Amino acid sequence: MKNKFFIKYLIFGIIISFFLSCQNDKKKETKEEKTDPVVMEKIKKFFKNPEKSSYQISPDGKYFSFKAPYERRMNIFIQEIGKDKEIQLTKDTARDLSGYFWANNERILYLKDTGGDENFQLYGVNIDGTNLKALTVFEGVRTRIIDVLEDFPSEIIVGLNKRDPRIFDPYRLNIETGKMEMLAENPGDISGWMTDHKGKLRVAFVSDGVNQSILYRKTEKEKFENVITLNFKENLSPIFFDFDNGDIVYAASNLGRDKAAIIKYDLSKKKEIKEIFKHPEVDVYNLHYSRKRKVLTSISYTTWKKQRHFLDKEVENLIKRLEKELKGYEVGITGISKDETKYMVIAYGDRSRGCYYFYDKKTDKLTKIHEIAPWLNENELSEMKPIKYKSRDGFTINGYLSLPKGKEKAKNLPVILNVHGGPWARDHWGFNPEVQFLTSQGYAVLQVNFRGSTGYGRKFWEASFKEWGGKMQDDLTDGVNWLIDQGIADKNRVAIYGASYGGYATLAGLVHTPDLYACGIDYVGVSNLFTFMKTIPPYWSQYLPMLYEQVGHPQKDSLLLAAKSPALNADKIKSPLFVAQGAKDPRVNIQESDQMVEAMKKRGVVVEYMVKENEGHGFHNEENKFEFYEAMNKFLKKHMNK
């Protein structure tokens, strides 16, 4: 797995991405309503932990691994292929494990944080449950994976900000002993690193927050030299080296283009040498290859659904063979054995959380392993349909509309505008538990890829700069009005809801279009652009100059930021508001929600507030999710006149 460093469009999505996922709560101020057992049953169906998920396969193809609940927290298990016995490797009861991977045939590595603080720490455990070791557990330190070093079974390369909380140094880490060796000292401006196929550190990315340079060296013994310096609006993102490990890399680039394409680039000659693939409507970032055969295999990109462009007949035949047997579902590969004969496959859709299969290429046999949520009946769930409309200034805005089951032709429905986070991210087609829960309660759900949403080209992205609460919000307003004009939405029963930037958009919608929404739900959202920029984590401070260009400068654009900060304009809000916040949120500090709630109370407008002390940027613990969505449902029922 090579480092794919797409800083240009994705960095702020990382900064404030939409990742959705206690008895010391600040409880709601209104009188508690009784729990509806039927509604609670649905909440649990949609939001409870899966029976088993996140399947992977060992490098030798003998075992598959998965995550499953242990005391309500997702932990790691393995199972020998062809046998029934499961072996539990971890027993964490505080929080779901964030992610894991096979380091070699005998050892699995995983990441976890504390209470949602996002200071991820790396642990290792043998497949028999022995030698559980904390590998990068340092207080206040965050771990990044740079290279898993597939050809060096006992080592990986990680980035740690333990020397300076603002920057990450690369270390070669022995996963058996925990011994680390620093490979280079970050001088203070390097934002990322990239290795070649032999695990050698040969590319560094330097950023001053606005401009990024790509540095390159032929060997680790040589000094890094500058290849190219670009403004953050321009994108040249190396994906991996060519197979001879020379000067050539495959990259995603929008240089001279509006939409990013896959190209070959010569780092030594400092020029593009070949365009491999582009799409006229969307950016293309993802390039895949066979490690064993050393050939490019496919390119994936997203229009309204995930699409593939094949470069290799063998992989094309494999995918088509799987799609034929799994007809009607999207097919993905979640794990491949080192000899590329055994595969973990997932089949999923907009009405299915997915089902895992094991495919043996030698026998051409596809075996069902496990459904992620077997308690869900697809026939009872809503379809997610693509929609598009024109913004008031001429942009084509894409999105999705999900209607309650059985009301596909109904008119004047209550509607929830569900705004994605980022904001430089996008909504995708697929199973969304929030959407399915809301449609099960009779609401239509509108999801909008407003300007700034990634994947639609540079012009569309740049049109969002300094438009928080402005034209970005207009795109959302135009979407609601489009639904009203279509006769689908009841203009008196529209609510706005979102997390992170979506939470900001909720507040901004209530401020700038106070008569449009019956109520709003702000989930870990920004409320004050001045205080938000002061409280970002130290390792994101490098990107403040870029953030100033994208959102606004606290001094130079103070009037703009003041006008677009909902907490400073709460006097314009008429509609009831529900706010939910994680106390340990490192991205959107709890101060954002506190001051918004206080401003609403001073106004005398209905506001309900839920805080979870053991959560960060979004609720991940199962019981907290249940409580949040139960409160959301009661709030909507009360204020949408249902």
Among residues 113, 147, 475, 585, the one annotated as catalytic is 585
∠ CA 264-266-267, rounded to 5°: 125
Quick one: average pLDDT of 51-57?
94
The Cα–Cα gap between 73 and 68 comes to 8
pLDDT of residue 318 exceeding 70, the answer is: yes
474 catalytic per annotation: no
DSSP letter for each residue of 336-387: E-TTS-EEEEEEEETTEEEEEEEEETTTTEEEEEEES-TT--GGGSPPEEEE
pLDDT of residue 18 exceeding 60, the answer is: no
pLDDT of residue 115 exceeding 90, the answer is: no
**Mean pLDDT value across the chain:** 92
The per-residue b/e assignment along 472-497, b for 16 or more CB within 10 angstroms, e otherwise, is bbbbbbbbbbbbbeeebbbeebbbbb
Q: How would you classify residue 328: left for phi > 0, otherwise alpha for psi between -120 and 50, otherwise beta?
A: left
Furthest-apart CA atoms within the chain: distance in Å: 70
Nearest Cα residue to 116 out of 585, 538, 592: 585
- How many percent of the chain have pLDDT more than 90? 86
3-state percent breakdown (helix, strand, coil) of the chain, nearest 5 = 20, 35, 45
Q: How high is the pLDDT of residue 642?
A: 54
The Cα–Cα gap between 118 and 231 comes to 29
The Cα–Cα gap between 380 and 359 comes to 29
pLDDT of residue 14 exceeding 50, the answer is: no
500 catalytic per annotation: yes
Residue 446: pLDDT band (50, 70, 90) is: very high
Quick one: average pLDDT of 272-293?
96
The per-residue b/e assignment along 245-284, b for 16 or more CB within 10 angstroms, e otherwise, is eebbbbbbbbeeeebbbbbebbbeeeebeeebebbeebbb
The Cα–Cα gap between 494 and 484 comes to 10
Question: What is the reported pTM?
Answer: 0.90
Beta strand 107-112 with 133-134 is unpaired
Among residues 197, 279, 420, 617, the one annotated as catalytic is 617
585 catalytic per annotation: yes
pLDDT tens digits for range 487-512: 999 999 999 999 999 999 999 999 99
Q: How high is the pLDDT of residue 326?
A: 97
Q: How high is the pLDDT of residue 33?
A: 62
Contacts of 609 (CB under 8 A, 6+ apart): 26, 27, 28, 29, 578, 579, 580, 581, 593, 597
Among residues 237, 464, 500, 527, the one annotated as catalytic is 500
Count Cα neighbours of 282 within 13 Å in the Cβ-side half-sphere. Answer: 20
The Cα–Cα gap between 414 and 495 comes to 8
Q: Which two tokens stand for residue 337?
A: 């054995």
pLDDT tens digits for range 376-395: 999 999 999 999 999 999 99
pLDDT of residue 49 exceeding 70, the answer is: yes
pLDDT tens digits for range 480-491: 999 999 999 999
Q: Which two tokens stand for residue 498?
A: 């979102």
Phi then psi dihedrals of residue 402, to 5 deg: -120, 125
Residue 17: pLDDT band (50, 70, 90) is: very low
Q: Which two tokens stand for residue 77?
A: 């298990």
Q: May I ask the CATH architecture of the domain 26-43+384-639?
A: 3-Layer(aba) Sandwich (3.40)
Residue 230 pairs in a beta bridge with 212
pLDDT of residue 537 exceeding 90, the answer is: no
Where do we find the tokens 């997390």?
499
Quick one: average pLDDT of 364-379?
95
Q: Where are the domains of the chain?
A: 26-43+384-639, 52-114, 325-372
